[in-house]
Amino acid sequence: MKTQNWYVLTGLVILAIMSAYCSKKSVITPTLSVSPSEIAFKATGDTAEVTISSNVAWDISNPASSWLQLSKTNGNSSEASVQLIAVANTTGIARSVVLEVNAGNKQLRRISVTQASSLYPGYNISPAPADATGMGSTAVQLAAKFKLGWNIGNTLEAIGGETAWGNPLITESYIKAIKAQGFNAVRLPCSWNQHSDKATAKIQDAWLSRVKQVVQYCVNNDMYVLLNIHWDGGWLENNINSQKKDSVNAKQRAFWEQIATTMRDFDEHLLFGSANEPAADNAEQTAILTSYHQTFVNAVRSTGGRNSYRVLVVQGPSTNIEKTNDLMNVLPTDPAKDRMMVEVHYYSPSQFCLLMDGDASWGKMFYYWGAGHHSTIEPERNATWGEESDVDASFARMKTKYTDKQIPVIMGEYGTYRRDNNKYAPKDLATHNDAVDYWLTYVTKQAIANGLKPFYWDTGGALDRRNNTVLDKRTIDAIVAGAK
Q: Tens of pLDDT along 70-127?
A: 998 998 877 889 999 998 887 766 789 999 999 877 788 999 999 887 789 999 999 9
Q: Tens of pLDDT along 456-476?
A: 999 999 999 999 999 999 999
List, in order, residues 6 or more apart from 411 with CB less than 8 Å away.
Answer: 343, 344, 345, 346, 447, 452, 453, 454, 455
Burial 433-453 (b: 16+ CB within 10 A, else e): bbbbbbbbbbbbbbbbebbbb
Q: Are 374 and 428 in contact (CB under 8 A)?
A: no
**What pTM was estimated for this model as a whole?**
0.82
Residue 366 has pLDDT above 80, yes or no: yes
Residue 394: closest CA among 326, 329, 484, 317:
326
| Out of 10-24, 196-210, 261-275, least confident range | 10-24
pLDDT of amino acid 8 = 46
Residue 379 has pLDDT above 80, yes or no: yes
Residue 283 has pLDDT above 60, yes or no: yes
Q: What is the DSSP letter of 86?
A: E
Q: Which residue has the higher pLDDT, 145 or 103?
A: 145
Residue 16 has pLDDT above 60, yes or no: no
Q: Tens of pLDDT along 192-240?
A: 999 999 999 999 999 999 999 999 999 999 999 999 999 999 999 999 9
Strand partners, 110: 100
**CATH 3.40.50.300 matches 32-115:** no
pLDDT of amino acid 13 = 47
Confidence of residue 22 (pLDDT cuts 50, 70, 90): very low
Q: What is the mean pLDDT of residues 279-291?
A: 98
**CATH 3.40.50.1970 matches 139-483:** no
Torsion angles phi and psi, residue 224, rounded to 5: -80, 145
Provide the residue ranges of all domains of the chain, joining segments of one domain with +.
Answer: 32-115, 139-483
Q: What is the mean pLDDT of residues 48-55?
A: 91
Q: Which residue has the higher pLDDT, 462 or 43?
A: 462
pLDDT of amino acid 55 = 86
Q: For the chain, what percent of residues have pLDDT higher than 70? A: 94
pLDDT of amino acid 18 = 53
Average predicted confidence (pLDDT) for the chain = 93
Q: For the chain, what percent of residues have pLDDT higher than 90? A: 81
> Which three-class secondary structure state does DSSP give residue 112?
strand
Q: What is the mean pLDDT of residues 28-51?
A: 88
Residue 289: closest CA among 313, 311, 316:
316
